[in-house]
Amino acid sequence: MTRKQKRLSIIAAGAVFLASAVALVTFALRDQIVFFNSPTDVLAQHVAPGTRVRLGGLVEEGSVERGTNSAVTFLVTDTNASVKVRYVGILPDLFREGQGVVTEGTFSQDEGTFLADSVLAKHDENYMPKEVADALKAQGVWQEGDPTPGVGTQTQ
């Protein structure tokens, strides 16, 4: 074998190894490469208690209940299904009913409640997570430029 053939075989072997590694990582993370799951997705997947997920949607109107020691419970909805969320901590300033929210945490084993350890609220007046907007558009609930509070734009 000449030096040129040895070099090409080493490069080819490296390329095969790299492609295999990328394929394995992609296959392993195929269910986790999602910014968040909607309540409908989470309930359909029957997520096992203790599994970390991101849950996103709208904070359901009239569902926010403030408890003691900065504990808050609320419902996250995509208008098809709702999931009860419990969070202990300081909520973002922009958190309110009817607004977009993404929570991260696990499901409790006994209650079926989502135990959030972080809550992210929308960051400006026009923000709506793409997946939530697409789901609402598919249901015919929201149209582009719809002035409904908490869905397309915010009214003060």
DSSP designation for 41: H
Question: Is 50 in the same domain as 27?
Answer: no
Q: Is residue 145 part of a domain?
A: no
Same domain (yes/no): 82, 129: yes
Whole-structure pTM value: 0.61
Q: Are residues 65 and 134 in the same domain?
A: yes
Q: Which residues lie closer than 8 Å to 13 by C-beta, 6 or more apart?
A: none
Give the integer Cα–Cα distance in Å for 49 and 142. Answer: 32
Q: What is the mean pLDDT of residues 8-21?
A: 96
Q: In whole angstroms, what is the distance from residue 73 CA to residue 89 CA?
A: 11
Q: Are 98 and 56 members of one domain?
A: yes
Average pLDDT rounded to a whole number, residues 15-42 = 84
Tell the residue number behind the tokens 């973002």, with chain if given.
Answer: 92
Residues 45 and 27 in one domain: no
User: Are 7 and 47 members of one domain?
Assistant: no
Q: Tell me: pLDDT of 49 over 80.
A: yes
The total domain count for the chain is 2
**Domain co-membership, 12 together with 55:** no
CATH of the domain at 133: 2.40.50.140
pLDDT at site 148: 46
Instruction: Give 51-85 pLDDT, tens digit per residue.
Output: 888 888 889 999 999 988 889 999 999 888 889 99
Cα of first residue to Cα of last residue in the chain, in angstroms, is: 76
- Residues paired with residue 103 on neighbouring β-strands, in sequence order: 55, 119
The Cα-based distances of 24 to 8, 12, 17, 34, 35 in angstroms read 24, 18, 11, 17, 20
The mean-pLDDT minimum among 48-52, 138-142, 144-148 falls in 144-148
- The answer on 103 and 46 residing in a single domain is yes
Q: 10 Å Cβ neighbour count for 132?
A: 22
Answer yes or no: are the C-beta atoms of 125 and 91 closer than 8 Å. Answer: no
The verdict on residue 124 lying in a domain is: yes
Domain that holds residue 85: 39-138
How many C-beta neighbours within 10 Å does residue 56 have?
A: 25
Q: What integer pLDDT is reported at residue 133 of this predicted model?
A: 76
